[in-house]
Amino acid sequence: MNNKAMLNAYPDSLGGRLNQAAAVLEKPEFRDAFRSFYILPSVFHSDLDRGFSVISYELNRSLADEDSLERLKALGLDLKMDFVLNHVSVLSPQFQDLLRQGEQSPYRDFFIDWNRFWEGHGQMTAEGYIQPDQELIQSMFFRKPGLPILMVRLPDGRDVPYWNTFYQEVRYPALTAPMLMNRLGLQYQEAVKIAARFNAAVNSSTPFEEISLDELEPYRGQTTALLQEKREYLGQMDLNIRSPLVWEYYRDTLMKLAAYGAAIVRLDAFAYAPKAPGRHNFLNDPETWELLEEVKGLAQPLGLSLLPEIHSSYAEGIHCKLSHKGYLTYDFFLPGLLIDAIERADASYLVSWAREIRKNKMKVVNMLGCHDGIPLLDLKGLLPDERIQELIDLVISRGGMVKNLHGQKNVYYQVNATYYSALGEDDRKMLLARMIQLFMPGTPQVWYLDLFAGRNDLEAVALSGSAGHKEINRTNLTMEQIDAALTTKIVQDQLSALKAYNQCMAFDPDGQMHIEMKQADQLVITWEKQQKTARLVANLSTLSFQASMDTSAGAFVLQQD
């Protein structure tokens, strides 16, 4: 992969479709500002989680087509795309085949039958699933309360539990009087009464056994069976990596991504894929590393670089393990360290981290904002706990939102906010943060909304319901909004700096980097290679800086007084 600046956006983030995004990148203001483009997975045929519940890796026809990919490649852009290793949508062809054919489906073992997995390691419940032995399950990590299962109705009438780590929803159709008359032999008024009571129960999430049917009680079982037969599902089903068909699916997907023009494949949810009774079932060691090596064996002949995505605290050292094993690594520490440095006018922790990256020869992709949030708890072990909490409180005070798991604030990954709002919507802070990012080790990934100094979108959050916190930083921009933003200094300066960065040989990964502090608030970073130099002198107290770069087009200087 190249180490030049990478744009990060959804296919509909810039203008509404990927073709419009290509048109934006063809504008003179954008030419040469980016050398790669991370397109988030709603570019694929998907349903939930804005793309991360993949139905298939065919292009999403409502947002993208082959022509739009060709336009991006014509600009010289490498593409970065997602591959979700742990799960697929319940609407995937494989899972839908299982629903249709049950035991006769070739995909019977493509997914994880909970009872087969736990056979001999627990007790069967009246509900039809095995409750694992307590000593085997007590240390397991689950993303949601309760056991991670979805009860699936197969054609033979059995409810079979399948492993479901992430989202699930069961939907029942609305009953009609004709439907019940034809199926149960009811008279019209009887059918109307039963349909009304069952439909009300579905709408209020009342268990079917609690519905009052009076003289029509004999029809409860048949009506319930009809509803269960016709129920539909939403969600993501975990894949059984012991199945040869899953590995065929992995290979075929990587080939498809390479054909689209991908150079980097971001591996999402890979740490959940290896499972074993009694294990943590998140980043199992050595099984997770064995999985990654097998996937790498499929990817390398296709010219694909892998970027495994995982959130963990600095103290756990997972980033080091990934790096030592030769993988690209996300620098999830930089976003919080930069806010800390700018708000406190103290670069000491930032400098220490930069030196550690260089000392350990880590290949990182860094960022400010992204499609999720600002990962502040990743800093545990790198920043003092009280300093992390102050960062969290600060971002929330500026309109950020906390994502919890199980309602516990000690297990969320990030605070959801735009980076611009997290910095107090201050243009000077935003530009200083961007310049420091460019001078830090690694490949700079740029979230499109940061580039346009996007503010927290609280209206989008309100429209998205209880799970809409991420929409705070996912505003789709119209072409008119983009054109207006291109006239602003904060956008123009960032684009100018990105172009110069891409044209400066000094930033090559094997260039020499020197970073120092004259005082806690005075940062100096220098890169050198083959007599080409890039230098940043910044004062965190005054937010002033001077950046100079020797580029192929000549000397570039940008300063903020």
> Out of 202-211, 214-223, 406-415, 521-530, which region has the weakest mean confidence (pLDDT)?
406-415
Active site residue 340: no
Q: What percent of the chain has pLDDT over 70?
A: 98
Query: What is the pLDDT confidence band of residue 404, given thresholds at 50, 70 and 90?
Result: low
pLDDT at residue 471, rounded to an integer: 93
Residue 403 predicted with pLDDT over 70: no
Q: What percent of the chain has pLDDT over 90?
A: 92
pLDDT at residue 465, rounded to an integer: 76
pLDDT at residue 413, rounded to an integer: 60
- In angstroms, rounded to a whole number, what is the distance separating the alpha carbons of residues 285 and 466? 35
Average the pLDDT over 83-90 and give the result: 97
Checking DSSP bridges between strand 522-529 and strand 512-519, what pairing results, if any? antiparallel
Tokens matching residue 381: 């072990």
The H-or-E segment that residue 46 falls in is: strand 44-46
Average the pLDDT over 22-26 and give the result: 98
Q: What are phi and psi of 293, to 5 degrees?
A: -65, -40
pLDDT tens column, 55-78: 999 999 999 999 999 999 999 999
- pTM score, whole prediction: 0.94
Task: Quote the distance between the C-alpha of residue 244 and its chain's center.
Answer: 27
The widest CA-to-CA distance across the chain, in whole angstroms, is 92
Q: Is 205 helix (H, G, I), strand (E, B) or coil?
A: coil
The H-or-E segment that residue 160 falls in is: strand 159-163
> Out of 375-389, 409-423, 481-495, which region has the weakest mean confidence (pLDDT)?
409-423
Q: Is the peptide bond before 441 cis (omega within 30 degrees of 0)?
A: no
Find all residues with CB under 8 Å of 317, minimum gap 6, and list them. none
DSSP 57-112: EEE-TTT--HHHHHHHHHTT-EEEEEEESSEEETTSHHHHHHHHHGGG-TTTTTB-
Burial class (CB in 10 A: 0-12, 13-18, 19+), 90: buried
Q: Supply the mean pLDDT for the chain.
A: 95
447, 419 contact by CB (below 8 A): yes
DSSP conformation class of 304: P
Average the pLDDT over 429-446 and give the result: 98
pLDDT tens column, 268-307: 999 999 999 999 999 999 999 999 999 999 999 999 999 9
Average the pLDDT over 180-194 and give the result: 96
Question: Which one from 49, 82, 238, 268 is the annotated catalytic residue?
Answer: 268
Query: What is the pLDDT confidence band of residue 411, given thresholds at 50, 70 and 90?
Result: very low
| Residue 487, number of CB atoms within 10 A of its CB | 9
Q: Is 122 helix (H, G, I), strand (E, B) or coil?
A: strand
pLDDT tens column, 364-390: 999 999 998 999 999 999 999 999 999
Active site residue 32: no
Query: What is the pLDDT confidence band of residue 18, given thresholds at 50, 70 and 90?
Result: very high
pLDDT tens column, 310-351: 988 999 999 999 999 999 999 999 999 999 999 999 999 999
pLDDT at residue 468, rounded to an integer: 81
Q: Strand runs (DSSP E) across 212-316, as ranges?
A: 232-238, 262-268, 305-308
pLDDT at residue 1, rounded to an integer: 63
* pLDDT greater at residue 28 or residue 402: 28
Average the pLDDT over 505-518 and give the result: 95
Nearest partner of 377 among 403, 411, 345, judged by Cα: 411
Find all residues with CB under 8 Å of 460, minimum gap 6, and list them. 468, 471, 472, 474, 475
Residue 406 predicted with pLDDT over 50: no
Q: What are phi and psi of 205, to 5 degrees?
A: 60, 35
pLDDT at residue 405, rounded to an integer: 45
pLDDT at residue 225, rounded to an integer: 92
Average the pLDDT over 133-153 and give the result: 92
Question: Which one from 49, 78, 309, 471 is the annotated catalytic residue?
Answer: 309
Find all residues with CB under 8 Å of 265, minimum gap 6, and list them. 80, 81, 82, 83, 254, 257, 299, 304, 305, 306, 307
